[in-house]
């Protein structure tokens, strides 16, 4: 794409921060960059796009095989017809460039349809746009920009704007719907082939088309003003639009540590980017002083971005207590374990079970009667410690079949951990997952009194029914801190902080497989996971999103009919999930070792 075009993705990123447009146009490295194929698999978005087109049987696709200019001309020529439906028509006027997902022309009226895999609930309706304003803002801006550009090219037409979205209020009547769509690699890109029953698909109707004319109209004046500003910044040459730095910069995708020479965050922040310990490392730093006028923004304006620049008298409440601990122990470079930790740990009854689940929520339901984005549970790992000082035993389960796995998942877990002892999780994902399965038993009329009773006793449904699950993330927040965790309490931060600084753990025989060094540095155990070659490419899973994508590949990817590839993907998933529960065991051992 030429730098002097303002595409809709350019416009959206500039709306989030005008300075980012400069970094995007000059191809600065972004931490959001990833494999195109994995993007396709991430949430089933590739299926949503294909499904949407199948609802318009007379649609004509505008291809760019012969270049953008010819695609633009072909779009113009076809839109001379009274009625026509186009897929990905290209409008390019005065440097404003859009490729529209679906454009339906009827006489002097256009229906502009943007297809997204974001979930929508038609039972809530457009109230979602108000209630979750920040979530929907980029999507509405996207369509508004497209409508604006289309209106400049065709000023005397009526434009109706739509978002086409998976509808969580609907349930599919088709078993294996996702399997009706097959990915094929063509050169460096991918094509989606539909292999199912077209008539059934159209009757199934799990996508909803939401008209957003009113929402778009409210944005058009801003789109007109800002698109001119953005276009001036990239033509005739790319220039940076200065933006005031603030707490919002914390999540900047151009904070690319591996490339200091082309690090957008560092360019904006100058020397303040390299302050250690940085104010962005403080636990919930953006809430101090209130969400509307956080103190951190005032400090940034004054060039005070060290965590010790935070006024202690502004730290209050439970979060303030955690922030004070972080500040004092970071300054002293000391680990902190609360005085209550021993009594807390001593009350837990053996055997101890450390559990971790891998789950997936896909835009297109996997199985009959499922809603879009309804959860599928495909894997669990358990480490069991029978008594103090005993070596943990490992158990695991994974689904490799195209069938609804949730009840098999829960039943196998029940048989593993039974009704006695203490069950640990990290954060609340496992509790939420099991609660969903309990509710699914009613929805799908799955009869198993033993499973229902077990779930009812295990899961926390409310403060009145606490269940058996213990949240180690909550234990960390209340009782543990290490300076290398900074402001984080996730397992991916707690584990390396403990592992790297406590060599006695490395001497335990059943932990030696996780001990690896680079020079004198002890590696994070997640860095010791082995990549496995699948279809000529080294693959590795080290975090939950990667696990979800691996499962998508296993069941619905280009190698789904390759038994050997499926087994290799399963192996990758199993080694990752096993480490998650072993990581919890390591943390537990270290906590117990404090007394």
- pLDDT score for 402: 84
In this prediction, residues 291-297 reach a mean pLDDT of 89
* 519-547 pLDDT, tens digit each: 999 999 999 999 999 888 899 998 888 88
The reported pLDDT for the residue numbered 4 is 79
Q: What is the pTM of this model?
A: 0.92
Query: Poorest-confidence range of 71-85, 287-301, 477-491?
Result: 287-301
What's the whole-number mean pLDDT along residues 340-351?
A: 96
Q: Which DSSP helix (H) or strand (E) runs through 46? A: helix 45-54
Secondary structure, 3-state, 273-301: HHCCCEHHHCCCHHHCCCCCCCHHHHHHH
Report the pLDDT averaged over residues 486-490. Answer: 96
Q: Is the pLDDT of residue 194 over 60?
A: yes
* Residue 391, pLDDT score: 97
Q: What's the confidence (pLDDT) of residue 3? A: 61
How is residue 288 written in tokens?
């101090």
| Distance separating alpha carbons of residues 439 and 419, to the nearest angstrom | 20
- Amino acid 178: pLDDT: 85
User: For the purposes of burial, counting CB atoms within 10 Å of the CB of 391, is it exposed (0-12), middle (13-18) or buried (19 or more)?
Assistant: exposed
- pLDDT reading at 37 higher than 70: no
Domains of the chain with CATH codes:
8-234 (no CATH), 247-334 (no CATH), 342-472 (3.30.420), 482-593 (no CATH)
Q: What is the pLDDT of residue 34?
A: 57
Residue range 162-179: mean pLDDT, rounded: 94
Scored b (16 or more CB within 10 A) or e, 94-129 reads: ebbbbbbbbbbbeeeebbbbbbbbbbbbeeeebebb
Query: How is residue 40 annotated by DSSP?
Result: H
Whether residue 425 contacts residue 470, with contact meaning beta carbons closer than 8 Å, is answered with yes
Choose among 536, 516, 532: nearest CA to 524: 516
- What pLDDT does residue 545 have? 81
- The answer to whether residue 36 scores a pLDDT higher than 60 is no
Return phi, psi of residue 131, to 5°. Answer: -65, -35
Tens-digit pLDDT profile for residues 54-111: 999 999 999 988 899 999 999 999 999 999 999 999 999 999 999 999 999 999 999 9
Query: Residue 466: its pLDDT value, please?
Result: 86
State the average pLDDT for the chain: 93
What share of the chain in percent tops pLDDT 90? 82
User: What pLDDT, on a 0 to 100 scale, did the predictor assign at position 557?
Assistant: 76
pLDDT at 422: 97
In DSSP terms, 379 is beta-bridged to 358, 398
Preceding omega of 236 cis (within 30 degrees of 0): yes
* DSSP3 helix / strand / coil % (the chain, rounded to 5): 45, 20, 35
């Amino acid at each position: 794409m030429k730098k002097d075009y303002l595409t809709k993705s350019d416009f959206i990123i500039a709306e989030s921060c005008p300075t980012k447009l400069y970094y995007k146009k000059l191809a600065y490295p972004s931490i959001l960059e990833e494999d195109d194929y994995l993007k396709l698999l991430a949430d089933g978005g590739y299926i949503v796009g294909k499904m949407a087109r199948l609802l318009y049987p007379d649609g004509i696709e505008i291809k760019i095989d012969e270049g953008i200019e010819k695609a633009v001309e072909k779009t113009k020529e076809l839109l001379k017809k009274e009625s026509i439906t186009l897929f990905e028509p290209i409008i390019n006027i005065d440097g404003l460039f859009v490729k529209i997902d679906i454009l339906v022309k009827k006489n002097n009226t256009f229906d502009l349809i943007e297809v997204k895999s974001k979930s929508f609930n038609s039972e809530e309706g457009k109230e979602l746009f108000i209630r979750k304003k920040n979530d929907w803002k980029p999507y509405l801006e996207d369509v508004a920009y497209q409508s604006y550009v289309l209106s400049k090219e065709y000023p005397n037409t009526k434009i109706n704007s739509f978002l086409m979205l998976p509808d969580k209020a609907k349930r599919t009547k088709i078993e294996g719907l996702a399997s009706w769509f097959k990915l094929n690699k063509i050169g460096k890109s991918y094509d989606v082939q539909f292999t199912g029953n077209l008539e059934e698909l159209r009757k199934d109707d799990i996508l909803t088309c939401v008209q957003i004319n009113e929402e778009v109209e409210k944005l058009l004046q801003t789109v007109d003003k800002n698109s001119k500003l953005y276009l001036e910044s990239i033509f005739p040459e790319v220039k940076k639009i200065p933006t005031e730095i603030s707490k919002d910069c914390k999540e900047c995708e151009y904070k690319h540590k591996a490339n200091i020479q082309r690090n957008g965050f560092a360019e904006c922040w100058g020397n303040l980017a390299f302050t250690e310990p940085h104010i962005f490392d403080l636990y919930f730093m953006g809430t101090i002083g209130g969400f509307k006028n956080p103190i951190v923004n005032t400090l940034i304006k004054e060039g005070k971005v060290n965590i010790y620049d935070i006024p202690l008298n502004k730290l209050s409440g439970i979060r303030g207590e955690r922030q004070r601990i972080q500040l004092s122990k970071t300054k002293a470079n000391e680990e902190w374990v609360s005085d209550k930790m021993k009594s807390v740990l001593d009350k837990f009854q053996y055997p101890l079970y450390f559990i971790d689940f891998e789950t997936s929520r896909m835009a297109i339901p996997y199985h009959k009667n499922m809603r879009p984005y309804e959860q599928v549970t495909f894997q669990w790992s358990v480490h069991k410690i029978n008594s103090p000082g005993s070596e943990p035993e490992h158990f695991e389960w994974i689904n490799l079949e195209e069938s609804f796995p949730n009840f098999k998942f829960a039943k196998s877990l029940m048989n593993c951990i039974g009704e006695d002892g203490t069950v640990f999780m990290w954060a609340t994902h496992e509790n939420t997952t099991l609660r969903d399965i309990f509710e699914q038993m009613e929805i799908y009329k799955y009869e198993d009194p033993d499973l229902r009773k077990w779930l009812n006793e295990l899961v926390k449904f409310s403060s009145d029914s606490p269940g058996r699950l213990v949240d180690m993330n909550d234990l960390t927040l209340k009782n543990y801190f290490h300076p290398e965790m900074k402001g984080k309490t996730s397992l991916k931060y707690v584990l390396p902080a403990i592992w790297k600084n406590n060599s006695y753990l490395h001497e335990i025989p059943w932990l030696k497989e996780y001990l690896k060094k680079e020079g004198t540095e002890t590696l994070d155990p997640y860095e010791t996971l082995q990549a496995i070659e699948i279809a000529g490419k080294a693959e590795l899973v080290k975090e939950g999103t990667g696990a979800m994508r691996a499962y998508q590949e296993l069941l619905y990817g280009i190698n789904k009919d390759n038994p050997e590839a499926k087994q290799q993907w399963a192996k990758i998933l199993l080694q990752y999930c096993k480490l998650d529960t072993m990581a919890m065991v390591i943390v537990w051992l270290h906590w117990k070792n404090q007394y």
